[in-house]
Every structure is written in structure tokens, then in C-alpha cells.
Amino acid sequence: MAGSDEVNRNECKTVVPLNTWVLISNFKVAYNMLRRPDGTFDRDLAEYLDRRTPANAHPTEGVASFDHVIDQSVGLGVRIYRAVAAPANGAAGAAAATLPILEFLTGAPSADPLPVIIFFHGGSFAHSSSSTLIYDHLCRRFVKLSKGVVISVDYRRAPEHRYPCAYDDGWTALKWALAQPCLRSGADARLRVFLSGDSSGGNIAHHVAARAAGEGIRIYGNILLNAMFGGTERAESERRLDGKYFVTIQDRDWYWKAYLPEDADRDHPACNPFGPNGRRLKGLPFTKSLIIVSGLDLTCDRQLAYAEGLREDGHDVKVVHREKATIGFYLLSNTDHYHEVMEEITDFLQANLI
């Protein structure tokens, strides 16, 4: 069970850098305001509190972005980020750098291989968006380290849109990317696509990759950061870390109840993919995985068990277990955890690009 709030806060402050503690604590306060005991969610207040940033056609630090609707029927949008060379000179260079959206989308494949990362933001299926500032920063970082394109998916959120809406939106984004010649690259003009996400976004990335494996679509790699999994039986880390580092079991249970079908428990395959009701991936061409685990995330044992499930089914997995890291450490560049994990992601992309 969770200890007292004061004890937990003091313990947390001794481990977490101050600015990270302030960032995540502010999210926790807001999240607690938005969740209602009856399972509903104050979406209007959530939209008001969400700190967002607009797309920028003109590059900032070598990265430009634009928003684009890919499925009008459900209003599904994405934010697309790409590396843009610094303007060579004056206004003409600036105009060349801000390549019009339609011109980019109708462009030819790149001659050099480049990664396309489809990214799913976190927020436990209920919070944040593709324009949330912290995720905008993270996607820009991914562009800089990959030299490729990032497509951040603004998937529909719970509880208004339960399972399988987020997975369907992820699948739509993948199919859309596959149909875009401008995203292909290399001598074979293929889409070199990676899937990535944190928290609920990591969960979505897994399920989209599993569907792709079943349909014979090649994914070049999965990059999961603190992916959100669960189950009806409590893991040891859930009991040990309950309430100590920002998150409680009660929080997690609320989000699963908000996302899963109304008659489902946490052994539903969406939550517990290798549990008693799950689908094994043995014999399927499931992609290689880079799994980033924070040792102070109360669901860390779930993530490690997920990695072991992939290994048992014969798949290539690398786990980066940062034992003294908390949730969200990859959102701020103020720890060794952040820089070393970004190096791991860079190496993973380069190793699996061909």
C-alpha cells in the first residue's frame, strides 16, 4: 500500500532532479483534478490545462513540423516533423526551408535510407496530444538523433473513446505512412518505419506492431519507453512502489477501467498481452524491440515481464533498465539516464535501418 504523501514526497525528492520533480508533480496534480470517481473525465478542463505548442513550418534548430489530417471520418490528425537544413542565405533560403506541406507530401522517395518513426504520446490513454509541449520536444529530439521523419499520432483518448480506438488510430497512421511515396527511402524505395511511444503510447506501439506482424507488414523496430502494461494479479514492483514515485496503483486501475471494454478486467489482452487471455507471437515476424524501463516506475516488473515474453516467443529484445530512473526521465535532458538512453535509441535506429 502507498505510504503517507509526505514521506513519499521526501523520498522522491532525494532521487529525482528538482525540475523533473516539479514537472511530473504538476502533471499529477492536474491528472487528479481531471479524473472523476464515477469514471468520467473533465475533458474541457484537460484541454485548458494541457500546455501545447503550434507546429512550425519554419525550422527551429533544424526541425520543421506541420499538422495534417489523415482520416476525416474520425478527425485523426498527425504532426509530422522533419529535419531541414539551415537556410543558405536570406529570404530565398528561408522560403526554400519552409517547403509547402503539399509539396513535401507529394515528393519523391529519398535516395538515402532514412528512418520514419511513428510516435504515440503517453498519458495513460486519457491525457496529452500530439501538440503537447513535452511531446513536441521529444519528437524534435528524435528527429535530431535519427536524421529522419517523425509522425506523432493524435489518437482518440479514453474514456470517451475506449478500446480499440487508440489501436485503430495507430493502425490507420501506419497504413497512411505506407501509402506515402515521400516517406520511402533507399535504393529499394521502402518505408523504413519504426514504432515508438511512452506509457500508453508504448502499449499502442506493441499492439500495432503485433497486428503488422500478423499481416506481413515489416516494422524495422519498436522503441518502448515505460510502456504501460498490467494484469489482475499485482506485480511485486506495484506493491513496493505504490505511491512512492508519482503514481499509485489506484491511478493505474482508473485508467485501465476507462480504456478497456466495460466488462473487461486487467487480464484483457490490451492490458496484459501475454497473460491468460493474450495472444502469443511465436512464429510471427514480430519486429526487434528496444525496451526502456525505469526501475522506479511501479509497473517496471510488467515491462520486464513483457520483454521476457517476447524472448520466450523467439524475438530480438534489448532491455535498457535504468534502476534509479523514474517515469518521464526521457522528457528532460537533466540526467545521465536521459543522455544514455538517447544514445541507445540512436544506435538502435542505425543498426536496424537497412
Cite the active site residues.
199, 297
The whole-angstrom separation of Cα 215 and Cα 166 is 19
Per the DSSP assignment, residues forming a β-bridge with 153 are 78, 120
Grid coordinates belonging to 211? 497486428
Q: What are phi and psi of 117, to 5 degrees?
A: -105, 115
Name the residue with cell 514504432.
195
The whole-angstrom separation of Cα 299 and Cα 63 is 34
Per the DSSP assignment, residues forming a β-bridge with 222 are 195, 289
HSE at residue 194, side-chain half, CA atoms within 13 A, is: 28
Are 124 and 255 a contacting pair, CB within 8 Å? Answer: yes
The whole-angstrom separation of Cα 343 and Cα 184 is 25
Are 226 and 294 a contacting pair, CB within 8 Å? Answer: yes
DSSP 274: T
Grid coordinates belonging to 281? 507471437
Are 155 and 252 a contacting pair, CB within 8 Å? Answer: no
